[in-house]
Amino acid sequence: MDHRGTTFAEPLLAELLNAVRDPGTGKPQLGHTDFDSATFTGDAQFGSATFTGDAQFGSATFTGDAQFGSATFTEDAQFGSATFTEDAQFGSATFTGDAQFGSATFRANLDCDGASFGKDALFQRAVFERASSFGPLVCAGRVQLSGGLDPGC
């Protein structure tokens, strides 16, 4: 699924996710997805979705809440250089491959409560403007925060 550079208002994203819902579970099932440089206006509701291929959100912009709670990423998830203007919610998400958030900007809260990382969770040079907490989380690989910046410090 290639939606590089696409702007998604809430209704358009809901239409896309409804088209890929598994009839048995009612949850969105996405294969390889490329949302690089996409813009999500309003809330992006990816909660409980399953990504069965690489999920690419590099340089994407989320203007509302980015809701990935309880989502499953079976391959690598790439959010490098993404901008999260409102809350980024990854609570109880499962990342089987690497989760890459290098140089991402979190302007509000980042919720990774109960998230599970099967390989590396990479946040090098990420900017956390208002994040009040990061976990608890489980990571079988490395959690890298080197070069991360909290401008409030």
Looking at residue 28, the DSSP 8-state letter turns out to be B
pLDDT in tens, 108-143: 999 988 999 999 999 888 988 876 666 677 777 777
pLDDT in tens, 102-112: 999 999 999 98
What is the arithmetic mean of pLDDT over 22-47? 96
pLDDT in tens, 77-106: 999 999 999 999 999 999 999 999 999 999
What is the pLDDT, as a whole number, of residue 153? 43
Backbone angles phi, psi at 100, to 5 degrees: -110, 115
Contact 49, 70 (CB under 8 A): no
What is the arithmetic mean of pLDDT over 6-11? 97
Contact 90, 67 (CB under 8 A): no
Considering the entire predicted model, what is its pTM?
Answer: 0.90
CA atoms within 13 A on the CB side of 78: 14
**Residue reference for tokens 């809350």:** 87
136: which 2 tokens? Answer: 């608890």
Reading phi first (left if > 0) and then psi (alpha if -120 to 50, else beta), residue 37 is in left
Where does the pLDDT of residue 75 fall: very low under 50, low under 70, confident under 90, or very high at 90 and above? very high
Backbone angles phi, psi at 17, to 5 degrees: -70, -35
Backbone angles phi, psi at 20, to 5 degrees: -110, 15
Task: Give the helix/strand (H/E) hosting 57.
Answer: none
Task: Give the helix/strand (H/E) hosting 12.
Answer: helix 10-19
Contact 20, 48 (CB under 8 A): no
What is the pLDDT, as a whole number, of residue 130? 79
